[in-house]
Structure 1
Amino acid sequence: MVTDRDTNFVYLSSLIKERPGLRKFWQYLEKTLQKAGIRYDFIQNTNDLWCRDYMPVQVTKGSFIQFVFDPSYYKTKKHRHLRTDTKRIKTEVALDEKLKHSALLLDGGNLIRSRNTVVLTERVFKENKSVPKEVVLQELRQVLQVENVHLIPSLPYETSGHADGMVRLLDDNTLLVAGYHSESPSWRAKYDRAHKNTGLQLISFPGVTTDIKNEEGEFSAHGCYINFAWIGDVILFPQFDLAEDREALKEAKKIFSNHQVLPLPAADLAMSCGVLNCATWNVLV
């Protein structure tokens, strides 16, 4: 598969520069992208910010897989207007000739990728409950052209069930793992056991659970440092105006010592319940 390390271009939903509450964040992000020399453009006709979820997955430079984007958490009356129709989205680069389709329901935020390995939460089985689990796994291996598919439990309170707020693959053999120490002992035991069962080298990654909520009463993504954006040799690392920001940035620079790790104020974005990986779709062009 194309990995984050391979990518050299990033797309964002056009909403990110249009929403008044994100104006300051967008100014920071635009300056940081320009400073890092990262080319970018916007996706039109989207209904929410989180383009990672509804955009296709790049397998090779010339091929993409479009999974079905129809998550259960967007089927409620409160949230159904946020669902983006993948047939209506527009990007600068035409994807039609490069696009293949899978019948599986899967959000991009629940697909952590490396060259020959992917990690997802068990939510993928719930979203595809009419499909036998082994068929789901076989389809993932086939369309993504990977050998290793690892499953971890989703967070109990997190409605999307995505893996990108929990783990990231450093490479095919190494998994960065955010700690969730405030969860129940039984869930943490299951979480730890799933990671050990992957057989990957595990590296603890900074993470903070906060009780910050937005105006709709939903928990924000403050403290979710592992949801950084990774484009080529650049790491856009979120900062949340938390006491732990400096130490988290220091740890990220240690892990990604051969990358540019650029801090980015992301507290405003986090109030919308997502962070930088959620809001970016990075590709190899």
Structure 2
Amino acid sequence: MQVALQQQDYVLFSEELKKYYPQIYNELSEILSHHNVRHGVLKGTADYWCRDYMPIQVDYDKFVQFRYHPDYLKGYRDYETPTEVSLELAKELTSASIETSPIIADGGNFTFASIKRGRGYTPVVVMTEKVFFENSEVAGENLVYQLEKLFPKHKLLFLPWDRGDACGHTDGILHAVGPNKLLVNLKVYPDKIAARMREILESCFKVIDLELSDYHEYSWAYINMIHTKDVIIVPGLGRATDAEALNHIKKLFPQYEGRIYQVQIPSIVKKYGGALNCLSWSFYKYL
């Protein structure tokens, strides 16, 4: 089954983050080092957002490398890390098998959760329907079939895509809180889309809304956190709601007492529309 967030023990960042945002990188590195979380940098990447162009861990000993060719980089292809670069970097870090796929998809559009029934668990991968738009030359049912072959043990859920969000990722929509539970921030989406998202998610999970006194255009970023087996790091936006988001997340993860932090990254979120999960590539280190 998909490696749970609570099992991931290796975190990588693009060297570009370390180069252009050294203070943020150093703060993240200090937190991870304090809790003995293995981490490092990926050299030779074209931009910061390594979650999107690096492989997806499907199982303990298997990754899938999708084609990173997002439509939002049209006219900015210099920021597109080639698949061969991602593959080479990943092979240097893991001995697990890496299957390549021609499907165009960003890592930020694969959010994992699980459903527990009795003693059994069903892993779930949640995506937005943007994957169908970026692979429009493939019939929808054929694309689903291909994804099911890549994730043979998983249930697939597809959420509507809010066209106002160019990336169409799910890592700013939801975050797993153990089996059967999801933390969401749907209030930043148009009512009709948010209602449909909730309906789909509630068909499988208990949905918990992030408790904020003000839901603003950047509050999705609180969901976009670094989460490993030893530490959780929540993005800070330099707003009054920072403390509210942090306190709610602490309540949801009592087992992480003393191991939940907040790092301020408002300039990155506002300028580029990404946060900590987007900036990191985390996985279980298969030996």
Secondary structure in 2 aligned to 1:224? helix
Q: Distance in 2 between matches of 1:184 and 1:65?
A: 32
Alignment of 1:38-117 (within 5 A): 38-75=37-74, 77=75, 79-89=76-86, 90-91=88-89, 93-94=92-93, 98-114=97-113, 116-117=123-124
CA drift at 1:48: 1.0
CA drift at 1:6: 1.4
Q: Distance in 2 between matches of 1:17 and 1:61?
A: 28
In structure 2, what residue type is equivalent to 1:31?
A: E
Q: Between the two proteins, what is the percent identity of the paired residues?
A: 27
Q: Which residue number corresponds to residue 4 of structure 2?
A: 3
Secondary structure in 2 aligned to 1:160? coil
CA drift at 1:152: 0.9
Q: Which residue number corresponds to residue 120 of structure 2?
A: none
Q: Which residue number corresponds to residue 230 of structure 2?
A: 233
Q: Distance in 1 between matches of 2:158 and 2:34?
A: 37
CA drift at 1:145: 3.0
CA drift at 1:101: 1.1
Verify the 8 A CA contact 2:198 2:207 in the aligned structure 1.
no
Rate the CA distance shift 1:179–1:64 in 2: closer, same or farther, 3 A: same
Secondary structure in 1 aligned to 2:222? coil
Verify the 8 A CA contact 1:179 1:206 in the aligned structure 2.
no
Rate the CA distance shift 1:133–1:74 in 2: closer, same or farther, 3 A: same
Secondary structure in 1 aligned to 2:84? coil
Rate the CA distance shift 1:38–1:125 in 2: closer, same or farther, 3 A: same
Q: Which residue number corresponds to residue 15 of structure 1?
A: 16
TM-score, normalised to structure 1, is: 0.87
Unaligned segments of structure 1, at least 5 residues: 212-220
Q: Distance in 1 between matches of 2:190 and 2:125?
A: 26
Secondary structure in 2 aligned to 1:102? strand
CA drift at 1:135: 2.1
In structure 2, what residue type is equivalent to 1:284?
A: Y
Verify the 8 A CA contact 1:223 1:240 in the aligned structure 2.
no
1:190 matched to 2:182: no
TM-score, normalised to structure 2, is: 0.86
Q: Which has the higher helix share?
A: 2
Unaligned segments of structure 2, at least 5 residues: 115-122
Secondary structure in 2 aligned to 1:232? coil
Q: Distance in 2 between matches of 1:88 and 1:202?
A: 38
Alignment of 1:242-281 (within 5 A): 242-259=239-256, 260-270=259-269, 271-281=271-281
1:174 matched to 2:175: no
In structure 1, what residue type is equivalent to 2:148?
A: R
Q: Distance in 2 between matches of 1:128 and 1:2?
A: 27
How many corresponding residue pairs? 270
RMSD of aligned residue pairs (Cα, Å): 2.1
Verify the 8 A CA contact 2:14 2:50 in the aligned structure 1.
yes
Rate the CA distance shift 1:138–1:171 in 2: closer, same or farther, 3 A: farther
1:161 matched to 2:171: no
Q: Distance in 1 between matches of 2:136 and 2:176?
A: 26
